[in-house]
A and B are shown apart, each in its own frame.
Chain A
C-alpha cells in the first residue's frame, strides 16, 4: 500500500537510529569477550571503561534497539493490516520523545556518568539524564500506542464483524503488556530514583526498587519477543512457501502472553533477601505457565513449516526440514526467522532451568545467564529485528537490496557464533564464572593471585563465538547501509508478506475480545505482586543513600 511521506520517513528513521547505535553496541560486545578471555588486563580501552561499555551494550541492544524497532514495526503492521495511518501528531511526538530520550541517556553513558548497567540497580547512582532519558524513551513508545488504539477503534466501528488480523492482535497485546509493565519502572524512575539522584530525597528502598524493576524487567523480554512471534505466525509460513497451520492457536498464544508476562518478575529475585520463599515459588509456577504459549507456537510453526516442505514433495518423517528455502535470496527473511527459532529452542529450555526455583542457585548471576539470554534476545529477537529492518528499508525506500549474498549468510553465521558463545558462557557459568565482570583484570589474568586457569577454555570458546558474531554483524552493516544509500529503483511501498491460514477455522469469540483477558491479567498481577510487596514491608530494613561506582563512600549532598 501507499503511505504518506512523513509516515514513511518516521518508520525509516526509527529503523535507522538503532542500527547506527548498534555499531557501538556490537563493538562493546566484542570488547567484552576479549577482556573476559584475558586478552586485555586493564580497565578501559580507547577511553571507554569495561563497565561503561557493558552499560552501553545492554542499553543500546536491549532497550533502544528493541523499543525503536517495536514502534517502527508496530507502525508498519497496524497501518498495513488496518489500511490506514495513525494520527500524524502521535507519530511525530512519539519519535521525538524516543530520540531525545536516547540522546540524553547516551550523553550520560558516554561521559562516564552512568556506568550502572542497564538494570541500574540502586543504590548505585547514575546521572539524572540517564533516568530521564530512559523515561522519555518509554513514554515515546506509549504515545505511538495511543495513536494505534485510536486507529483500531475507528477500524472496529467500520468493520464491526471482521476478525482482528492476527498481526494487529499481537501488536496491541504486546503494547498493552508494555504499557502496564512500564508503569512500575516509570514509578521507580520518576518517583524513587530521579529525585534521589538529584539529591532531593536522601535514600531509596533498594529491594522495592529492584522489585519494581523486575515487574517491568521480565515483561520486557516478551516485549522484545512478541514482534518476532508476530513474524513467526504471519510471515514465516508465507516466506517458507506454506500456510499458517492454525490462526486460533496464534491468538490463544498471544492472549496467554497477555495474562502471564508480567506476574513472573520475582523469578529474577530468587537469590535475594526481603521476599519470602513462598512468593518466589508462586512466581516460579507462573513462569512455567508462560512457557505454554511458546510450546503452542513451537508446534504451530513446525506444523506450518512441515506443510511447506511437503508441498515441495518432502518424504518421510523429517524430510520436510530439508526442503525449506534456506538460501533463497528473494525470501531472505526465512533464514533470519528460522535461525532465531532454532536458537530459541535452547534459549527456551535454559530459561526453564533459570525459573526452576532452587535450581536457580546453581546458575544465578553466573555467566550461564548471559549464555541463556543471548539465545533469546540475541537469537529470535535480534535476528527478526535485523531481517525485518532490512526488508522494510528495501520496501519503504523503493530500493533493491545490496550485497544480497552477505545478507543471506548473516543469520546462519550469527547462529553459529551464538551457539559457540553461549556454550562457552554456560559452561563457565556452571564452573562459577561470574557475569558482568571484567575477568581480564583478575580471574583471567595469570599475574593475579585470583587467576582461575579452569576458566580459560570456557572464556576462549566465548571469544571465538563473539568474533564470529561480530563478523556476521559486519556483513549485515555492509548490506544494510549499502541498501540504505542505494538509488531508488522501484515504487516506495509499505508491504509485508502475508501468510494465509491453512484451515478455515471456526470463529471462537473469546479469542476476539480483549476485556475478559485484561481482567484476568490484572487479577493475576495483583495475586502475584501483593505478597511480594507485603514481604518487602515485613522483611526490609532501612533505605540506602546513593553511591557512585568509583567510591565506597556515599555521595554527599
Chain B
C-alpha cells in the first residue's frame, strides 16, 4: 500500500472516530438521545395533559388524519414535558423545530421524549410525514406562558 493511502486511511479513521465520540458524548453526558421506546398499551390512545408535579407535565398526544390531540398545550415557562406519541391511523410526524423534538407517530407504536420549555412563546408542532390529502394543515401548538408570580413567597 502506498504511504499516502495509509495516511488517508488514518485520517479517515480519526475523523470518523471524532464524530463517533461526539455522538456518544452527546448521548451519555448531555442526554441528547433518540426518542425512548415504550411497550405498546392502548391507554396511550386517550389524549390528555396531566401535571405530574409543579414543573412536570405528561402529555399523551394522538396523531390522526389530520390533527393532533390535544392541539393546544398550555404550560408555564420552566416546565418539563414528557410527550408520549402514537397514531390511530397512518404514519404522522411530530416536530418542534426550536426544541429539536422529532418523532414519528406510528400505528401500534409508542414514542416518548422529554423536553424542557424555559423560554415563553408559542412553539409550533408540525406533522412532517406525508399523511394524505390534509397533511399540509396538520399542526398543533405548545403555548409557554410566563411563570406566574408566586405570591406565597
Is B136's CB under 8 angstroms from A550's CB?
no
- B106 at the A interface (CB under 8 A): yes
> A240–B104 Cα gap in the complex (Å)?
46
- Given contacts A358-B33, A541-B41, whether A210 and B130 have CB atoms under 8 Å apart is no
- Given contacts A437-B128, A549-B133, whether A123 and B101 have CB atoms under 8 Å apart is no
Is B100's CB under 8 angstroms from A361's CB?
yes
- A94 at the B interface (CB under 8 A): no
Q: Which residues of A contact B64 (CB under 8 A)?
A: 552
- A327 at the B interface (CB under 8 A): no
Of the listed stretches B46-54, B72-80, B91-99, chain A binds: B91-99
Is A547's CB under 8 angstroms from B89's CB?
yes
> Max chain B CB contacts within 10 Å: which of A43, A54, A246, A358?
A358
Is A364's CB under 8 angstroms from B102's CB?
yes
Which residues of chain B in 21-44 are interfacial with respect to chain A, using CB atoms and an 8 Å cutoff? 22-23, 26-27, 32-42
- B122 at the A interface (CB under 8 A): no
Interface 0/1 of B58-90, CB less than 8 Å to A: 000000111000000000000000000110011
- Given contacts A277-B33, A277-B36, A441-B136, whether A123 and B23 have CB atoms under 8 Å apart is no
> A543–B107 Cα gap in the complex (Å)?
7
> A89–B15 Cα gap in the complex (Å)?
49
> Max chain A CB contacts within 10 Å: which of B12, B97, B126, B136?
B136
Closest to B134 in A: A552
- Given contacts A273-B35, A358-B26, A358-B32, whether A540 and B109 have CB atoms under 8 Å apart is yes
Is A547's CB under 8 angstroms from B90's CB?
yes
Is A362's CB under 8 angstroms from B16's CB?
no
- B121 at the A interface (CB under 8 A): no
| A interface residues, tally (CB under 8 Å) | 72
Q: Which residues of B contact A437 (CB under 8 A)?
A: 128, 130, 135-136
Interface of B is mostly: mixed
Q: Which residues of A contact B8 (CB under 8 A)?
A: 295-296, 299
Is B93's CB under 8 angstroms from A365's CB?
yes
Q: Which residues of B contact A551 (CB under 8 A)?
A: 65, 132
Q: Which residues of B contact A538 (CB under 8 A)?
A: 39
- Given contacts A357-B34, A358-B32, A366-B95, whether A271 and B16 have CB atoms under 8 Å apart is no
Is B124's CB under 8 angstroms from A275's CB?
no
Q: Which residues of A contact B (CB under 8 A)?
A: 43, 51, 54, 117, 121, 123-124, 205-207, 210, 246, 249, 269-277, 280-281, 284-285, 288, 291-292, 295-296, 299-300, 303, 352, 356-362, 364-366, 431-432, 434-439, 441-443, 450, 535, 538-544, 547-552, 554
- List the 4 shortest-distance A-B pairs measured between CB atoms, nearest first: A432-B97, A541-B40, A273-B109, A434-B128
| 25 A-B contact pairs sorted by A residue (CB < 8 Å) | A51-B130, A117-B130, A121-B129, A123-B89, A124-B131, A124-B132, A205-B108, A273-B86, A273-B106, A273-B109, A295-B8, A357-B26, A361-B34, A362-B100, A362-B102, A432-B98, A434-B128, A436-B128, A450-B137, A538-B39, A543-B107, A544-B108, A548-B132, A550-B133, A554-B89
